[in-house]
């Protein structure tokens, strides 16, 4: 059974926006730090945004101001709002809990191209 189910990716033009969703368990969303990662083509997976349990957030420095992480505890969902998208944002995006033993989901593909 998948622990994290990402969705919302797709093909978008430069300058456009997407909102990614990650459905997880109630305990993961409510009680752990939830993070979004990306893996661009031919590159390693990298942390892009984190939403800590206390509500604080952190971002990859180069992305700050364009990406926003949030959650809805009632829906067991974590979001990544991505604005002003650039071709270099093209990647497969994954979410993950800080819970020990958390396993990667399948991710969702974002392609930014005209």
**Of 20, 45, 38, 22, whose CA–CA distance to 97 is shortest?**
22
The pLDDT tens digits for 62-109 are 887 899 999 999 999 999 999 999 999 999 999 999 999 999 999 999
Position 9 scores a pLDDT of: 98
Residues 67, 81 contacting (CB under 8 angstroms): yes
Residue found under tokens 């959650």: 71
């Amino acid at each position: 059974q998948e622990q994290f189910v990402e969705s919302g990716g797709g093909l978008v033009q430069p300058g456009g926006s997407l909102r990614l969703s990650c459905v997880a368990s109630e305990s993961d969303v409510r009680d752990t730090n939830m993070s979004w990662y990306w893996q661009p083509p031919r590159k390693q997976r990298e942390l892009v945004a984190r939403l800590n349990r206390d509500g604080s957030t952190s971002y990859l420095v180069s992305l700050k101001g364009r990406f926003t992480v949030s959650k809805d505890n009632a829906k067991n969902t974590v979001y990544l709002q991505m604005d002003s998208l650039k071709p270099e944002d093209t990647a497969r995006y994954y979410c993950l809990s800080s819970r020990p033993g958390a396993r990667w989901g399948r991710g969702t593909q974002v392609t930014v191209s005209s």
